[in-house]
């Protein structure tokens, strides 16, 4: 059994790493494949060009509902919605194999790295936003029996046009035993609670939490946005990962900009690369906005029983800025209960 689980972990890691492994994909083009490509899209069933769907306030639309075995390989959305901050008000959810609670739950903007509710362009390996307002995911999302993806409009106004194309593979044979499922979870702190006179922090008890999981799996990345509530540098916090119930973290970083693979306060410069980036960099002033991402496709953080992924908010948690994040990981089912999604009003704070 141990060998099967290890093999499944390696298979899942390979799937994530190949999200945009162009060299490997080119090499595979001459090989026969074990799937038929399918697409769930908003195209006009009448043959016309009315290819979008309106979504009334409070309504949920199912954008994919398919039987397995299969794997989502690419998701594309674009949205025509005049409501301000609609990226924070529209919620994306994904359910695998008939589960009653979602394995993915996040405001749609946050899922695609737009955590401040505003559009900007960037490119990474698993996520990208193209011109104009094109939301793309290349995370592989396998399922054995069934997959369901929904979009809910929690805003006050109608989504005039929701467009989507979801490409997925219908496999000819069952998934390998132990294949892990994709998960993504939204969290926020508005604000983080500052620890006065903080000097040391060994146990991370007051850290901002990206995610907590039970089961076996691997953490593959996070997108995070920040709104400063005071002047000064917000990012002196260390990342801390607690694996399999550790009291002290076995993985401990050296600073927020270091975790996101920048340096020296990001030097005041925005950047966007395949596995890391800071596509929105503001001045170190109250009210400034920042957006960041880091993907561990080269070395996922594995866990056998549980994982608690965190980061300090300032040195020793001494700052009270607003953090908004989505963590991405793969794991066995069932997953731990997600925290209740904050209300729209709270998400806009």
- Answer yes or no: do 115 and 133 share one domain: yes
215 shares its domain with 279: yes
Q: Is the predicted pLDDT of residue 3 greater than 60, yes or no?
A: no
Number of domains in the chain: 2
Give me the mean pLDDT over the 85-94 stretch: 98
Rounded CA-CA distance 208/5 in Å is: 31
Q: What pTM was estimated for this model as a whole?
A: 0.93
Q: Report whether the peptide linkage leading into residue 27 is cis, meaning its omega lies within 30 degrees of zero.
A: no
Q: What is the pLDDT of residues 67-78, one digit of tens each?
A: 999 999 999 999
How much is the pLDDT for 198? 87
User: Does some domain include residue 221?
Assistant: yes
One domain, residues 101 and 208: no
* Residue 331 lies inside a defined structural domain of this protein: yes
- Out of 17-26, 97-106, 201-210, 275-284, pick the least confident: 17-26
Tens-digit pLDDT profile for residues 16-31: 444 456 667 888 899 9
Give me the pLDDT at residue 15, please: 46
Instruction: Please check whether residues 38 and 150 belong to one and the same domain.
Output: yes
Q: Which two tokens stand for residue 226?
A: 């920040």
Does 157 lie in the same domain as 33? Answer: yes
- 134 and 53 assigned to the same domain: yes
Please tell me what DSSP assigns to residue 42.
-
Give the pLDDT of residue 4: 37
pLDDT at res. 25 = 83
Cα-based distances in Å from 164 to 75, 77, 106, 137: 7, 5, 17, 12
**β-strands 70-80, 141-143 pairing:** antiparallel
Q: State the CATH number of the domain containing residue 110.
A: 2.60.120.1390
Q: What is the mean pLDDT of residues 140-162?
A: 98
Q: What are phi and psi of 101, to 5 degrees?
A: -115, 145
Supply the range of the domain harboring residue 20.
2-171
Statement to judge: residues 167 and 185 lie in one domain: no
Mean per-residue pLDDT, 160-167? 98
| Residue that terminates a domain, selected from 123, 144, 171 | 171
Listed residues 150, 171, 192: the one ending a domain: 171
Per-residue pLDDT of 286-329, as tens digits, reads 999 999 999 999 999 999 999 999 999 999 999 999 999 999 99
Question: Do 76 and 126 belong to one domain?
Answer: yes
For residue 291, being part of any structural domain is answered with yes
Please check the confidence at residue 142 and state whether its pLDDT lies above 80: yes
Residue 37 CB partners (closer than 8 Å, separation 6+):
167, 168, 169, 170
Percentage, residues of the chain above pLDDT 70: 93
Question: What's the token pair of residue 288?
Answer: 């400034």
Tell whether 153 and 244 lie within a shared domain.
no
Helix (H, G, I), strand (E, B) or coil at 241: strand
Residue at 176 is within a domain: no
Do 245 and 156 belong to one domain? no
CB distance 86 to 294 below 8 Å: no
């Amino acid at each position: 059994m141990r060998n099967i689980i290890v093999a499944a972990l390696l298979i899942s890691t390979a799937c994530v790493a190949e999200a945009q492994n162009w060299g490997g994909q080119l090499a595979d083009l001459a090989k026969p494949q074990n799937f038929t490509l399918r697409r769930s899209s908003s195209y006009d069933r009448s043959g016309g060009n009315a290819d979008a769907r309106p979504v009334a306030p409070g309504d949920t639309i199912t954008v994919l509902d398919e039987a397995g075995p299969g794997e989502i390989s690419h998701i594309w959305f674009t949205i025509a919605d005049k409501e301000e901050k609609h990226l924070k008000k529209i919620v994306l959810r994904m359910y695998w194999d008939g589960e009653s609670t979602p394995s993915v739950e996040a405001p749609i903007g946050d899922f695609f790295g737009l955590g401040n509710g505003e559009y900007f362009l960037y490119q990474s390996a698993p996520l990208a936003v193209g011109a104009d307002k094109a939301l793309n995911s290349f995370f592989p999302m396998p399922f054995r029996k069934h997959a369901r993806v929904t979009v809910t409009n929690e805003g006050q106004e109608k989504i005039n046009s929701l467009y989507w194309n979801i490409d997925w593979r219908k496999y000819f044979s069952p998934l390998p035993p132990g294949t892990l499922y994709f998960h993504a979870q939204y969290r926020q702190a508005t604000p983080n609670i500052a620890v006065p006179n903080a000097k040391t922090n060994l146990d991370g008890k007051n850290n901002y939490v990206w995610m907590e999981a039970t089961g076996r799996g691997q953490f593959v990345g996070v997108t995070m946005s920040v709104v400063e509530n005071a002047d000064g540098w917000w990012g002196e916090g260390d990342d801390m990962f607690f694996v399999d119930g550790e009291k002290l973290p076995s993985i401990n970083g050296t600073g927020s900009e270091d975790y996101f693979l920048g340096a020296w306060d990001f030097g005041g410069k925005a950047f966007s690369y395949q596995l890391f980036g800071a596509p929105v960099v503001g001045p170190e002033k109250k009210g400034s906005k920042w957006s960041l991402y880091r993907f561990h496709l080269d070395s996922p953080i594995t866990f056998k029983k549980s994982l608690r992924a965190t980061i300090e908010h300032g040195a020793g948690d001494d700052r009270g800025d607003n953090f908004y994040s989505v963590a991405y990981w793969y794991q066995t089912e069932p997953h731990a209960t997600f925290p209740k999604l904050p209300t729209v009003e709270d998400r806009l704070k």
